[in-house]
Chains A and B, each alone.
Chain A
């Protein structure tokens, strides 16, 4: 698989921020947005393609977690 391009990383970044805004709990929402911004910023100068792919894979897994956890918020209001 070809290493992730800049465009793909940016797409992932935007998708994660977009999904994070769906957390209905204020503290989860603010943390997710902040953490995602800081994590992408911190790793923006990584050059090694293997490392980039590892980071991208982890981000994809985290995106799935956010999707699953925000889906619940839409279904039920406690």
Chain B
């Protein structure tokens, strides 16, 4: 329906445009106008195509949901979206050869980031597909002594880092396969599949400033880990994942991994600095704020705070100039409090009051300061309106109240 309005708008624009002198230029002019119009049909409040920075958009503080493309990644991808469009599995011409070379280069870049061999990397459509392949592996190799341990490396809601190396050690000694979903960890904390004795690892492109729609699964070769293909077809990716490998996307994933490897230390310093700034400022200005998740084993870029006596959704809506989340994007449609918070034993009321602040490579100090200022302001305002807060101020213990039904 949007497209139809766009065409109508374009037709009106063409009619309004000054009449051309001859046939050929008119066609070019019409096409150009028509080509631009669909882009201006992007759902937005402004009627005309917006200049890039003249329409203010919220600050982006939700990097756990997804990350922007790093310009270096886009630069690497563009040639494969424009001129080098060959199918990497075409064996008989230069288009195929150059596309294949790019794919293998990307494979090496991904492998290098996690200490793996390129032959152990299979490209997929994302970490979710990789997770499914890994877990299906369990069904493929069912024996009394076989099982699979699957653990997230860094949690996407509260940022807790799991003791991967220790778990890997235990699994290896008990001959149990060890899979980890490293989507939030790859390129952010050092990972080595051999040091940590990881057998299977899921990697996501769009969590590390790469493109959406691509990921990879690491599958150990020594000792061999057998997986069953989820997707069958032409036998690409060693038969483990059929389907034409999308060269532009995997080039983007590879570039994102290479950039992450180079920038890991610098990014970590920057993100830690901003994270400390955010938490200190908020906790020094507001009472009754709880940070969810183990403070010691924690990835700094993911800060989950519960503001007592304030409803999380109302705080999110109050902070309309900042793009935030109160839990994982995958479950944001439901009104249930986060299962992660419930699992770590957070009180029901605190679980409803949680906000997740995401700090990434491109986050600025000014964005953090603005977010903190607005957050403090709105929490205070919402607490002023809260009868629970009033009772707490009067010294009433909320747990002692007997609520009655009407």
Residues of A within 8 A of B (CB): 23-28, 30-32, 35, 38, 62, 65-66, 68-69, 73, 77-78
Task: Return the chain A residue nearest B262 by Cβ.
Answer: A58
Q: Chain A: interface secondary structure?
A: helix
Asked whether B52 is an interface residue with its Cβ less than 8 Å from the other chain, the reply is yes
Asked whether B42 is an interface residue with its Cβ less than 8 Å from the other chain, the reply is yes
Are B52 and A28 within 8 A (Cβ)?
A: no
Residues of chain A with a CB closer than 8 A to B68's CB: 27-28
Residues of chain A with a CB closer than 8 A to B362's CB: 27-28, 30-31
Asked whether B60 is an interface residue with its Cβ less than 8 Å from the other chain, the reply is yes
Count the A-B residue pairs with Cβ separation under 8 angstroms: how many? 40
Residues of chain B with a CB closer than 8 A to A38's CB: 266
Can you list 22 contacts pairing A with B, beta carbon distance less than 8 Å? A24-B52, A24-B53, A25-B52, A25-B53, A27-B68, A27-B362, A28-B68, A28-B362, A30-B362, A30-B364, A31-B361, A32-B71, A38-B266, A62-B72, A65-B71, A68-B78, A69-B71, A69-B75, A73-B52, A77-B49, A77-B51, A78-B39
**B 216-266 contacts with A by CB, 8 A:** 266
Asked whether B20 is an interface residue with its Cβ less than 8 Å from the other chain, the reply is no
**B 26-80 contacts with A by CB, 8 A:** 39, 42, 49-53, 60, 68, 71-72, 74-75, 78
- Interface size of B by CB at 8 A reads 19
Residues of chain B with a CB closer than 8 A to A35's CB: 266
Residues of chain B with a CB closer than 8 A to A66's CB: 71
- Give complex CA distance A66, B71 in Å: 8
B152 to chain A, nearest CB (A): 27
A20 to chain B, nearest CB (A): 10
Residues of chain B with a CB closer than 8 A to A24's CB: 52-53
Residues of chain A with a CB closer than 8 A to B361's CB: 31
A18 to chain B, nearest CB (A): 16
Are A65 and B75 within 8 A (Cβ)?
A: yes
Residues of chain A with a CB closer than 8 A to B363's CB: 27
A48 to chain B, nearest CB (A): 19
Task: Return the chain B residue nearest A70 by Cβ.
Answer: B71
A54 to chain B, nearest CB (A): 13
Are A69 and B74 within 8 A (Cβ)?
A: yes
- Give complex CA distance A24, B42 in Å: 19
A58 to chain B, nearest CB (A): 9
- Give complex CA distance A68, B77 in Å: 12
B353 to chain A, nearest CB (A): 29
Residues of chain B with a CB closer than 8 A to A28's CB: 68, 71, 362
Are A26 and B53 within 8 A (Cβ)?
A: yes
A44 to chain B, nearest CB (A): 16
Residues of chain A with a CB closer than 8 A to B71's CB: 23, 28, 32, 65-66, 69
